[in-house]
Amino acid sequence: MEVLGIGSGLTRIYDIKFCESVMYSFKKIEHLDVPLTVAYQIASGIEKYHEFIHGIKPVDVLTKGNDYITVTFNNRLLGGKVQMTAQFKNDRSIYFKQDNGPFRELSGHWIFNENEEGVSVTFSVVVKHKNFIINKTLRVLGSRICEQIIKDFKKRAEEVIQQPAITFQQKQITEDR
């Protein structure tokens, strides 16, 4: 192990044998003026993320149950194909974790807390990439990516709330014409 002093008061420790990269954690909390069920419905629709989150590619659904989904997506910039499983706790939380892919660690969660004014949404992610350079890039861009995801999520929730509710009877009348 080698200790290098950099400037005054800053020390970095490098393990020359393993050159392990660091794990990064990012978290964003946002209050939304939407019902809890709407916020949860949007977050649990993982196969639709590409429709409203900037930069997200469509996913292939491998398996889907009542309380989980396993998907894959391919991203050249992240180093290849990522397989993830998300576990759902209805209207409370969604936990996701990489099953297979280019990350040493990729996990996170959505947490929903209903209050009198709407819902508080927490999105957090922990990342550690196998590629040292990509990992360092994620350190710099991670908080921006996290903020963009929650910003796009909030925008989508507001769009859903503004959509007029169409009852089955109204839909049937339109189709009969």
Q: Convert the pLDDT of each residue in 62-103 to its tens digit.
A: 999 999 999 998 877 777 899 999 999 999 999 999 999 999
Return d(Cα 57, Cα 59) in angstroms, integer.
6
> What angle, 0 to 180 degrees and rounded to 10, lies between the N-to-C axes of helices 132-162 and 36-44?
140
CATH 3.30.530.20 fits 21-163, yes or no: yes
Sorted by where each begins, the domain ranges of the chain are 21-163
Q: What is the pTM of this model?
A: 0.77
pLDDT at 166: 54
Q: Which residue has the higher pLDDT, 90 or 167?
A: 90
Distances (CA, A) of 100 to 56, 107, 113, 139, 145: 18, 12, 30, 21, 21
**Does pLDDT of 168 surpass 70?**
no
Q: How confident is the model at residue 20 (pLDDT cuts 50, 70, 90)?
A: low
Q: Convert the pLDDT of each residue in 100-145 to its tens digit.
A: 999 999 999 999 999 998 999 999 999 999 988 888 888 888 889 8
Percent of the chain surpassing pLDDT 90? 58
Return d(Cα 54, Cα 33) in angstroms, integer.
22
Structure tokens at 175: 């189709």
